[in-house]
Chains A and B, each alone.
Chain A
Amino acid sequence: QKEVEQNSGPLSVPEGAIASLNCTYSDRGSQSFFWYRQYSGKSPELIMSIYSNGDQEDGRFTAQLNKASQYVSLLIRDSQPSDSATYLCAVNRYGNKLVFGAGTILRVKS
């Protein structure tokens, strides 16, 4: 079992729709959770962090965490073509060691 699992996609949504990206993790001791966005040919950049159960909102982005189910999700409201990218889920198991999922490709069609 991989430490962090994501559906590779691609996930295709029409412009203006809500995109829902999901991630599961294997280590129940994981403490903090992140979503990074990576455009093709570029480096990853942090877009959301979440540390406790529930929702964390920032603009059009909402991260959701359910530690009992070991599940993290990212919702993107009013999706735009510029949101088309690979979204990487990352989990901090201990110390400062981030483990990344393989990423989900999102395509927003105009």
Chain B
Amino acid sequence: DAGVIQSPRHEVTEMGQEVTLRCKPISGHDYLFWYRQTMMRGLELLIYFNNNVPIDDSGMPEDRFSAKMPNASFSTLKIQPSEPRDSAVYFCASSLFTLRHKEKLFFGSGTQLSVL
């Protein structure tokens, strides 16, 4: 398996523009997570899905952020409009719920977002 695939790897945009980050989870995994990592705040959970359904979006910072999972193999995180404080590395992760390994997250390579 290719692992969790994220695109793009790097995104540079100007303040006010729309940004869309994409994620393909590992085939067969039933949980998908979006995290954001900064030096100041560490790794923060933004939202997670179970079987394509959003379960907890309490970490989404504000209405400018939205996430969708239209099917089991694809998810997007959208920021509209973007602001400089959104600059961070955004990670997507997936996992398979089993009693033994339910919290073992497999992370993608991340998207480095810079908002100028």
Against A, the Cβ 8 Å flags (1 = close, 0 = not) of B81-116 are 000000000010001010000111101111000000
A-B contact count (CB 8 A): 51
Establish whether residues B97 and A96, one from each chain, have CB atoms under 8 Å apart when the complex forms.
yes
Determine whether A102 belongs to the interface, using a CB cutoff of 8 Å to chain B.
yes
Q: In angstroms, how far is the closest chain B Cβ from the Cβ of A9?
A: 13
Size range of the chain B interface in the assembly: 20 to 34
20 contacts between A and B (CB under 8 A): A43-B107, A43-B109, A44-B91, A44-B105, A45-B107, A46-B105, A88-B42, A88-B43, A90-B103, A95-B55, A96-B48, A96-B97, A96-B102, A96-B103, A100-B35, A100-B43, A100-B44, A102-B41, A102-B42, A102-B43
- Count chain A CB atoms within 10 A of each CB in B42, B91, B95 and give the residue with the most: B42
Q: In angstroms, how far is the closest chain B Cβ from the Cβ of A47?
A: 11
Interface residues of A (CB under 8 A from B): 32, 34, 36, 42-46, 49, 88, 90, 92, 95-103
